[in-house]
Structure 1
Amino acid sequence: MPYEAPDLAKLTLSDIADLVAARKLPPVESWEPANTGDSEMRIASDGTWFHQGGEITRPAMIRAFSSLLRRDANGQYWLVTPQQKLSIIVDDVPFIAVELQSEGEGAERSLAFRLNSDDLIFADANHAIEMRGGMLYVHVRGGMYAKLARPVYYELADLALSENPDSPSIWSRGAQFKLDSSA
């Protein structure tokens, strides 16, 4: 049976939490292969993946490659396996948050995001939402972020402004995130 992306609108936050817990990523942080090179891949600022200039259109390939991504202390991105580490160009950030699910209000709210890689994350103390250059980003893992797609950005901004129009901020899983440029 082919893989189907999760539809957040059809899932409860409990369902999403189960899917997040079930997704086991490879331990790329612990792999230090001696064989290094260039993947000849690039992730554009809109989240489109390319190999040797041609777009990668198979979602399963993007999902697989995204699970092998690592960012080093110098900000360089790598595709890592136990046997090799290949550099990859990332124009902005490697992920785009393409869908949002919100449950609750105020400090009791939980926010879940689906990424263009179909990974699911909750905004919380370990996955902070932050404003950079007029755009909103959410931390994914290992110093890597997802930029909020425009519709997700507007949806989140509407939620924040409805609760606190004078100083836009939003809560998720006990953490508060300021959504203005002075944050």
Structure 2
Amino acid sequence: MTTRKPDDILALLQKAEKDEQGLPPVHRWQPDYQADIDMRIARDGRWYYLGTPINRAAMVRLFSTIIRREGDDYFLVTPVEKLRIQVDDAPFVAVSLEVVQDEGRQKLVFTTQVGSTVVAGPRHPLRVETDPQTGEPAPYLRVRDNLEALLSRNVFYQLVEQAAPVHHEGESWLATESDGERFLIGRL
């Protein structure tokens, strides 16, 4: 988390707004052709085709703009084809976090492994799943529609570091706030 100048904060928030608006309308496309392809997104956010890493960042960014989730399945969708891919956990990974103040409101600004910027808030909620056997948290941020980013361990630690204790339904929790919304991170 770094301290930014007001112009830098404005540019960061404008990038988040642009990233959200500049996406293809995959939710409207209903192509006739559908198939499965040997493409996988690993839990760490790396993309693979036929078991080989896709190392061209521009290609991964392009694919990330046409991904859609239907139930538990993920697809790359164009106007003419719909290709099922495998996703180990979430299709995106939040790799950085900046806490900024904008008009008196704290905003948590996340950047994903594909360079997308997302501000946590009403449209982009944070949630934390806890493994019932290990107690290990798995934090997620809704990136768009029903697509999420898993927060990297480092980003989750930064989130916890700036969070504060609150009382919720008679219990003590650790919570954070972004864009006017409060998000519970875990019980204390």
The answer to whether TM tops 0.5 is yes
Kindly indicate whether residue 25 of structure 2 is the aligned counterpart of residue 19 of structure 1.
Answer: no
Task: Quote the Cα distance in structure 2 between the aligned partners of 1:181 and 1:44.
Answer: 29
Kindly indicate whether residue 172 of structure 2 is the aligned counterpart of residue 171 of structure 1.
Answer: no
Task: Quote the Cα distance in structure 1 between the aligned partners of 2:72 and 2:17.
Answer: 27
Structure 2: runs of 5 or more not aligned: 131-136, 167-171
**Which structure shows the bigger proportion of residues in strand conformation?**
2
In structure 2, the partner of 1:151 is 154
Deviations 1:16-38 (A, max 9, x none): 22112323000000000001112
Q: 1:181 to 1:50 in 2, by over 3 A?
A: farther
In structure 2, the partner of 1:50 is 48
Q: How many residues align?
A: 171
In structure 2, the partner of 1:89 is 86
Q: How does 1:51-130 map to 2 (within 5 A)?
A: 51-72=49-70, 74-104=71-101, 108-130=105-127
Task: Quote the Cα distance in structure 2 between the aligned partners of 1:103 and 1:44.
Answer: 30
Aligned residues of 1:39 and 1:79 also touching (Cα < 8 A): no
Give the Å deviation of 1:104.
Answer: 3.4
Task: Quote the Cα distance in structure 2 between the aligned partners of 1:151 and 1:176.
Answer: 21
Aligned residues of 1:131 and 1:181 also touching (Cα < 8 A): no
Deviating beyond 2 angstroms after TM superposition, the runs of 4 or more aligned structure 1 residues are 8-13, 20-23, 163-167
Quote the sequence identity (%): 33
Aligned residues of 1:123 and 1:172 also touching (Cα < 8 A): yes
In structure 2, the partner of 1:5 is none
